[in-house]
Chains A and B, each alone.
Chain A
Amino acid sequence: MALRFKTRLTLTTSLLTIATIGVMALFVVWITVSGVFEQHHLSRLRMTRVATDTVQYGISLQDGAMKRLSDQMRLTTMLLAELSDLAESDAEGFPDELAERLERALSRATRPGEPQPLSDLLVTDAEGRVVFGLGEQADALRASELAAALGLLEGQAGEDPQVRELRTGDGDGRPRLYGFVRNPETGRIVLVGSGEELLRTIRREYSPQSIVDKFRTLLDLTLVVIVGDDGEILAEGRTPDAALAPGQLDEVRRFCLAFLRDGDDPYRVASLSGGEGAVTRLFAPDSGRPAALYLQFSDATAGDLVDRLVQGFLVVSVLMIAAAIVLSIVLGRSMSRPLMVLEEGVRRFGEGDLHRRVALDTADEFQGLADSFNQMADSIHRYMHELESETRHRERLESEMQIAADLQRTLLPETAPVLPGVKVLGWSRSAREVGGDFYDFIPMSDGRLGVVIGDATGKGLSAALLTTECWSAFKALAESIDSPAELLRRTNNAMCRQTGATGRFVTLFYMVLDAENRTLVYSVAGHNPPFLVSGNGGGLRDLTSEHGLPLGIDFDCAFDEQHVELAPGDTLILYSDGITEARHEMRGLYGERHFRQRVQAMRALPIEGLSDCIMADIEMHLDGGELSDDMTLVAVRCESPVSAAEAAPFVHEEGETG
Chain B
Amino acid sequence: MSEASLISFEKHGPVVLGRIEAASVLDAMNVSHFGAELTAYVEANAGVRLLLDFENVDYLSSAVLTELLRINKKIAETNGGFRLCSLNRDIRKVFEITNLDKMFVIYDSAGEGLKKFARAIEIEAQEDAWEQMNRDT
Asked whether B125 is an interface residue with its Cβ less than 8 Å from the other chain, the reply is no
| Least CB separation from A524: chain B residue | B99
Give bound CA distance, A502 to B66, whole Å: 8
Q: Which residues of A contact B129 (CB under 8 A)?
A: none
Q: Are B97's CB and A457's CB within 8 A?
A: no
User: With A507-B98, A528-B97, A553-B103 in contact, do A457 and B65 touch (Cβ < 8 Å)?
Assistant: yes
A interface, CB within 8 angstroms of B: 455, 457-460, 501-505, 507, 524, 526-529, 545, 547-550, 553-554, 577, 589, 628-629
CB within 8 Å of A: which of B56-72?
A: 59, 62-63, 65-72
B74 nearest CB neighbor, chain A only: A501
Contact flag A549-B99 (CB < 8 Å), given A502-B70, A503-B70, A503-B73: yes
Q: A460, A503, A529: which contacts B97 (Cβ < 8 A)? A: A529
Question: Given A501-B73, A503-B73, A547 and B99 touching (CB < 8 A)?
Answer: yes
B103: chain A residues at CB < 8 Å are 549, 553-554
Known: A457-B63, A554-B103. A526 touches B98 (CB 8 A): yes
Check B135 for interface membership: any CB of A closer than 8 A.
no
- Residue in A closest to B103 when the chains form the complex, CB atoms: A549
Which of B67, B71, B97, B102 is in CB contact (< 8 Å) with A527? Answer: B97
- Residue of A with least CB distance to B27: A628
- Contact A503 B98, CB 8 Å, known A458-B63, A553-B103: no
Q: Given A501-B70, A503-B67: A548 and B62 within 8 A (CB)?
A: no
B23 touches A (CB below 8 Å): no
Instruction: Determine whether B36 belongs to the interface, using a CB cutoff of 8 Å to chain A.
Output: no
Which residues of B does A touch, CB under 8 Å? 26-28, 59, 62-63, 65-74, 97-100, 102-103
Whether A549 contacts B70 by the Cβ 8 Å rule is no
**Smallest CB–CB gap between B86 and chain A, Å?**
20
In the docked arrangement, what's the CA distance between A505 and B68, Å? 12
By beta carbon, the residue of chain A nearest B69 is A503
Q: Shortest 3 CB-CB distances between A and B: which pairs?
A: A503-B70, A526-B98, A503-B69
Q: Is the interface of B mostly helix, strand, loop or mixed?
A: helix
Assuming the A-B contacts A526-B99, A549-B103, A550-B98, are A457 and B68 also in contact, with contact meaning beta carbons closer than 8 angstroms in the complex? Answer: no
Residues of A within 8 A of B26 (CB): 628
User: Please, how many angstroms separate the alpha-carbon atoms of A524 and B102 in the complex?
Assistant: 14
Give B102's nearest chain A residue, CB to CB. A549
Chain B CB within 10 Å — which of A455, A457, A460 has the most? A457
Which B residues lie within 8 Å of A549 (CB)? 98-100, 102-103
Q: In the complex the two chains form, is A577's CB within 8 Å of B73's CB? A: no
Please measure, in the bound complex, the distance between the C-alpha atom of A255 and the C-alpha atom of B102, giving whole angstroms. 151
- Minimal beta-carbon separation of A64 from chain B (angstroms): 102
A501-B74, A507-B97 are known; give 15 further A-B pairs, CB within 8 A. Answer: A455-B62, A457-B63, A458-B28, A458-B63, A502-B66, A503-B69, A503-B72, A524-B99, A528-B97, A545-B99, A549-B98, A549-B100, A550-B98, A550-B100, A589-B59
Cβ contacts under 8 Å, A503 to chain B: 65-73
A577 proximity list for chain B (CB < 8 A): 62
Quote the shortest CB–CB distance from A535 to chain B (angstroms): 26
Beta-carbon contact of A505 and B73 below 8 Å: no
A553 and B69 contact, CB distance less than 8 A: yes
Shortest beta-carbon distance from B103 to chain A in Å: 6
- B15 CB → nearest A CB, Å: 23
Contacts of A553 in B (CB 8 A): 69, 100, 103
